[in-house]
Amino acid sequence: MLMSNPWPAAAMRLALLLLIAALIGLVSGRVTLALLLALVLFLGVQIRSLIRFERWLRRGRQLRPPQSEGLWGSLYEHFYRLQRRHRERRQRLAELLRRFKESANAMPDATVVLRGVGEMQWWNATAARYLGLEWPRDQGQRIANLLRHPVFSEFLARGDWHGSVKVPSPLDEHLVLEIRIVPYGQERKLLLARDVTRLHRLETMRRDFVANITHELRTPLTVIQGVAETLSEQDEADPEDFQRSLELIREQSRRMSRLVDDLLLLSRLETDERKSAAVPVDVAAMLEVLAVEASALSGGRHRIELDIDRDLQLRGDQTELRSAFSNLVVNAVKYTPADGRIVIRWFVDDDAVHMQVVDTGSGIPPHHLPRLTERFYRVDSGRSGATAGTGLGLAIVKHVLSRHDARLDIRSQLNKGSTFDCLFPVKLGMRGLAASASSGTNRP
Ligand code: ADP
Nearest CA to ligand 1 atom 19: 331
pTM of structure: 0.65
Residue nearest to atom 27 of ligand 1 (CA): 335
Per-residue pLDDT, averaged over 66-90, amounts to 85
Closest atom, ligand 1, to C-alpha of 390: 2
Mean of pLDDT values over 129-157? 92
pLDDT more than 70, % of the chain: 93
Burial of 435 (0-12, 13-18, 19+ CB in 10 A): middle
Tell me what pLDDT residue 278 has. Answer: 87
Any atom of ligand 1 within 6 Å of the Cβ of 410: no
Distance CA 130, CA 111 (A): 10
Q: How many whole angstroms from 376 Cα to the centroid of ligand 1?
A: 10
CA pair distance 209, 194, nearest whole angstrom: 25
Q: What residues are paired with 308 via a beta bridge?
A: 346
Query: Residue 2 above 60 pLDDT?
Result: no
- How confident is the model over 268-277, as a mean pLDDT? 83
Mean pLDDT for 385-390 is 62
Could you read off the pLDDT of 319-366 as tens digits, one per residue? 999 999 999 999 999 999 999 999 999 999 999 999 999 999 999 999
pLDDT (0 to 100) of residue 436: 44
Would the pLDDT of 131 be above 80?
Answer: yes
Q: Are 65 and 77 in contact (CB under 8 A)?
A: yes
What average pLDDT score do residues 145-173 get? 91
pLDDT in tens, 90-113: 999 999 999 988 888 888 899 999
- Long-range contacts formed by 37-42: CB under 8 A, 24+ apart: 41/17, 42/14, 42/17
pLDDT-derived band of residue 434, with 50, 70 and 90 as boundaries? very low
| Inter-residue contact 429 to 314 (CB < 8 Å) | yes
Exposed, middle or buried: residue 164 (CB in 10 Å: 0-12, 13-18, 19+)?
middle
Report which ligand 1 atom has the smallest distance to the Cα of 359.
Answer: 23
Q: 65 CB under 6 A from ligand 1?
A: no
Give the H or E element holding residue 121: strand 119-123
How far is CA 211 from each of CA 198, 283, 350, rounded to the nearest angstrom?
20, 37, 44
